[in-house]
Amino acid sequence: MLTTSPREPEQASSRQVIPAGDYYLGVLQAGEVARILDLEGNQAADTLFYCADNPLERYSATDTIREQGNIYLTTGSRLRSNENRVMLEIVADTCGRHDTLGGACASESNTVRYDLEKRCMHACRDSWMLAVSEHPEYGIGKRDITHNINFFMNVPVTRDGGLTFEDGISAPGKYVEMKAYMDTIVLISNCPQLNNPCNGYNPTPVEVLIWD
Ligand SMILES: [Zn+2]
C-alpha cells in the first residue's frame, strides 16, 4: 500500500548516504523511525535486522510471511524475528513492494545466476562480511548472516510458484520507513550488483534517515 510519511528530512536526527557497494551498520532505538531513500531509483538495499540485546534473535522471513499471510512487504507489514516478536513495522512506503524471498547476491550465486567470470565481482555478502569484521562490538559474525529483506527489489512469484527477478518498480526519491519496536541493529548492504535487472544494471546510492 502506497503511503507517504509526515516526517520532514530537515528534522531527521541523522542522515547518511550509502554509496552502492558500501554498507550501513547502526542501532535503531525502540520508537525511532528509519527511512531508506532510493536516491536515483531502482536500487536494492539488502537488509538484515538483529535484536540489539541478543543478536541471536534476528529478522525472520518465514515468521513475517506466515503472520501477515503475504509474501510482499509494504505499509503495515510487521517485520518479525525468529522468536516471532515484532521487531519493526513499515509505517510509510512510496514504492509499494519489497522482497523477502530473493536473498542477497554472493560471489557464488553470481556464478550460477550469471556467469563463471562474475565470481570476482563485489557482492552484498562481501559488504556484510566486511561490516561485521570491522565492527566486532555488535556481536554479529559470519554465522549470523542469514536471509534478508531486499528493499525496493521486485521479485514477483509466478502462478506456478516460481521466483522471477524483474525490472524494478522503484524510482528516484521513493522511500520506505519503519518504526522500531525493540532496539534493533540495522545492517544494510547497498547492492553493488551489475547483472540484475532489478536495479537497471546500474547501482546507485541510497540514503538512511533516522528520526527520534
Ligand atoms: Zn546485492
Could you tell me the distance, in angstroms and rounded to a whole number, from the CA of residue 76 to the centre of ligand 1? 25
pLDDT digits (tens, 9 = 90+) for 138-172: 999 999 999 999 999 888 899 999 988 777 789 99
How remote is the CA of residue 6 from the centroid of ligand 1, in Å?
A: 30
Other CB atoms within 10 Å distance of the CB of residue 4: 11
In this prediction, residue 199 carries a pLDDT of 67
Distance 190 CA to ligand 1 centre (A): 7
CB of 209 within 8 A of CB of 35?
yes
Query: What residues contact 32, with CB distance under 8 A and at least 6 apart?
Result: 13, 179, 180, 210, 211, 212
Say how many Å lie between the CA of residue 43 and the centre of ligand 1: 10
**34-76 pLDDT tens trace:** 999 999 998 999 999 999 999 999 999 999 999 999 999 999 9
The structure's pTM equals: 0.94
38 CA to middle of ligand 1, Å?
15
